[in-house]
């Protein structure tokens, strides 16, 4: 299987890199080369940023309605090629096709949401003095840079770009080098819709293309989704060239806190679903720490192990597959490393932790879904983000202990609380240091509500009006009035 899209989008043109070098894309299920993407250099990124810098003033000068119409057309054209985008992305990421089908739908919904929200880009009037007029307006930054992770390439490239674009900014997107192919299809769609330079996609490696985007002095607003170490590196690199506004949606080691009054079968199924095994656990919001009250610990653990052990691994294109391969060899080695670390630290392997048996799994980046019990909050498996299909199960006896465990990591992205006692649920939610929480639920995002984390899980909020306004700067204007004669 080979995919034809292989050009970046710069200044309204589908182009190769200046050096005409390429990176091969590998299907993680088979290790087969399925396409290629340009290996952009600093000069390519500079060309894209310069194009974006030329384009944004005219784009910003359009009315909100005009920009909204273009974004809506973009969403429509994406919808018409949704199946193609889906199949490219499944082959390139290894994510299973059934849940990934929703990614394009969510991306389209997000574009429509922000297109309709454009008129909320408002300033304020302030009664600073009684005799004059003091007010503010919001204006776009100009050129926005966004670096997209490997787990949801099109979803993040589309949904997270919409607020920046409706606010009047142009954008340069750098997708992950391990899963760039679906964004190259996106480049073809965007070329048909946006004025040249408004929407740019530049592929390549993080240390070269990504670093060039981060350091470029014309990029005053940056957004990144990925790991904490990379987020820290972006902050350092960006600060070396000019002052920038940076939002970071980083990792998580998210807790699911389960009280003893719940239904064992229901919460066990929810714990498996919330681990996002359909994405091989490669989701920042996965509740990878399952905190079970001692009264139900054994019963829930047994049920979780039963469900996880029965998950069907297979071809990500197969609708019946419940888990696919890890995204890349590098990521697979990381997951395998943490399996060994957990064993060395004394955690008990309940299921998984190895390459699945069978001829179809001899090639590809496969590992079984994995559950560890007898995990303590000090263990690395309970402190560090694996970004893979490893669920750690911890036991607690008092609510104070549960909260202490939940807040014991550097992260604070999501949390899930399970109990039939509403007061207890809300009391716990107020004390857990996570930015996005569910009570008797998990994993689902609700457009219009602020998504983002505490601690080293990041800065800024997305998927809401705060996201939109973060792509604007406030300008204060003071009109000094005189009494008419």
> What amino acid positions are annotated as catalytic residues?
249, 284
Nearest-Å Rg of the Cα atoms of the chain is: 23
Sorted by sequence, the CB contacts under 8 Å of residue 439 that are 6+ apart come out as: 416, 417, 418, 419, 422, 425, 426, 429
Q: What is the distance between the alpha carbons of residues 158 and 160, in angstroms, rounded to a whole number?
A: 6
Which tokens is 111 given? 């574009």
| DSSP codes of every residue in 70-84 | HHHHHHHHHHHTHHH
Listed residue (460, 462, 458, 380) closest to 412, CA to CA: 458
Sorted by sequence, the CB contacts under 8 Å of residue 177 that are 6+ apart come out as: 23, 37, 203, 204, 205, 206
Q: What is the distance between the alpha carbons of residues 302 and 306, in angstroms, rounded to a whole number?
A: 6
**SS3 sequence, 22-73?**
EEEEECCCCCCEEEEEECCCHHHHHHHHHHHHHHHHHHHHCCHHHHHHHHHH
Buried b or exposed e, range 322-339, using 16+ CB within 10 angstroms: bbbbbbbeebbeebbebb
CA atoms within 13 A on the CB side of 443: 18
Cα first-last separation, the chain: 80
């Amino acid at each position: 299987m080979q995919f034809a899209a292989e050009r970046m989008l710069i200044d309204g043109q589908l182009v190769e890199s200046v050096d005409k070098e390429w990176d091969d894309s590998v299907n993680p299920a088979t290790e087969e080369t399925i396409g290629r993407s340009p290996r952009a250099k600093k000069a390519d990124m500079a060309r894209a940023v310069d194009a974006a810098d030329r384009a944004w003033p005219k784009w910003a000068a359009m009315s909100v309605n005009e920009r909204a119409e273009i974004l809506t057309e973009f969403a429509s054209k994406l919808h018409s090629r949704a199946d193609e985008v889906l199949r490219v992305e499944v082959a390139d990421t290894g994510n299973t096709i059934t849940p990934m089908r929703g990614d394009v739908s969510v991306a389209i919904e997000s574009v429509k949401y922000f297109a309709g929200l454009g008129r909320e880009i408002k300033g304020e009037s302030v009664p600073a003095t009684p005799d004059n007029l003091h007010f503010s307006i919001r204006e776009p930054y100009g050129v926005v840079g966004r670096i997209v992770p490997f787990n949801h390439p099109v979803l993040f490239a589309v949904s997270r770009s919409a607020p920046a674009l409706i606010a009047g900014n142009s954008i340069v997107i750098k997708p992950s080098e391990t899963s760039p192919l679906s964004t190259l299809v996106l480049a073809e769609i965007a070329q048909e819709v946006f004025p040249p330079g408004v929407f740019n996609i530049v592929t390549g490696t993080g240390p070269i293309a990504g670093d060039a985007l981060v350091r470029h002095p014309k990029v005053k607003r940056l957004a990144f989704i990925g790991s904490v170490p990379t987020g820290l590196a972006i902050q350092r690199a960006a600060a070396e060239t000019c002052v920038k506004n940076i939002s970071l949606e980083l990792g998580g080691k998210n807790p699911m806190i389960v009280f003893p009054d719940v239904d064992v079968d229901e919460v066990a199924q929810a714990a498996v679903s919330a681990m996002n095994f359909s994405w091989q656990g490669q989701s920042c919001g996965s509740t990878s720490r399952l905190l079970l009250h001692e009264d139900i610990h054994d019963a829930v653990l047994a049920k979780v192990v039963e469900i996880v052990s029965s998950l069907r691994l297979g071809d990500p294109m197969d609708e019946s597959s419940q888990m696919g391969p890890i995204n890349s060899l590098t990521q697979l080695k990381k997951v395998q490393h943490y399996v060994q670390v957990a064993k060395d630290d004394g955690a008990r392997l309940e299921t998984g932790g190895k390459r699945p048996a069978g001829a179809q799994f001899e090639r590809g980046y496969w590992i079984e879904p994995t559950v560890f019990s007898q995990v303590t909050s000090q263990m690395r498996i309970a402190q560090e983000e694996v970004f893979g299909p490893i669920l750690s199960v911890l036991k607690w006896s008092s609510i104070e202990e549960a909260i202490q465990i939940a807040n014991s990591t550097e992260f604070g992205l999501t949390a899930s609380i399970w109990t039939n006692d509403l007061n207890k649920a809300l009391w716990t939610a107020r004390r857990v240091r996570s930015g996005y929480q569910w009570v008797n639920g998990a994993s689902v995002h609700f457009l219009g509500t602020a998504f983002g984390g505490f601690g080293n899980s990041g800065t800024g909020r997305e998927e809401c009006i705060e996201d939109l306004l973060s792509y604007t700067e406030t300008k204060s204007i003071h009109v000094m009035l005189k009494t008419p004669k």
